[in-house]
Amino acid sequence: MIEELRTEIVAMRNEFVNFGTKFDRLYLAVSDLSKRVDGIENRVANLEKDECMEKYKDENKKLSDTLERLKFELNDRDQEQLLTDVEISCIPEHKGLCQYKLNCDFCSRSTQHTIHLNL
């Protein structure tokens, strides 16, 4: 019985030694992984500081400015077109299709416009 107990204690001791060895390998693996993550963090930080990123930021700013300028130009053109619109009032409304002829004098030449209204 003492011999069995002794064998059992020796087996437990060997298991603890194996557990310690496995734990050491696990510690080394986690340590290696931690170093790799630190390396990746450094690389990302360097990329964020890189001049190329600044170049892309400048290009992006230029494109944004161009887009804003084009939006303003388009809006200005729309406003200019609205200035050329003609509104005619005081014409009696009739149900159905009405046709009116307008004689207009533009730039010293006479033109005739026909407007179809769906009322």
**Secondary-structure breakdown of the chain: helix, strand, coil percentages, each rounded to the nearest 5:** 70, 15, 15
Q: Is residue 40 part of a domain?
A: yes
Q: Is residue 8 part of a domain?
A: yes
Contact yes or no for 21/29 (Cβ under 8 A): no
Does the pTM surpass 0.75? The reply is no
Q: Is residue 32 part of a domain?
A: yes
Q: Is residue 102 part of a domain?
A: no
Q: Is 6 left (phi over 0), alpha (psi -120 to 50) or beta?
A: alpha
Q: Is residue 60 part of a domain?
A: no
Q: Is residue 110 part of a domain?
A: no
pLDDT in tens, 25-83: 999 999 999 999 999 999 888 877 776 677 778 888 899 999 999 999 999 888 888 77
- Domain coverage including residue 25: 1-49
How many domains does the chain fold into? 1
pLDDT in tens, 87-107: 666 766 666 555 555 555 444
Q: Is residue 13 part of a domain?
A: yes
Q: Is residue 81 part of a domain?
A: no
Give the phi and the psi of residue 94 in degrees, each rounded to 5. -135, 145
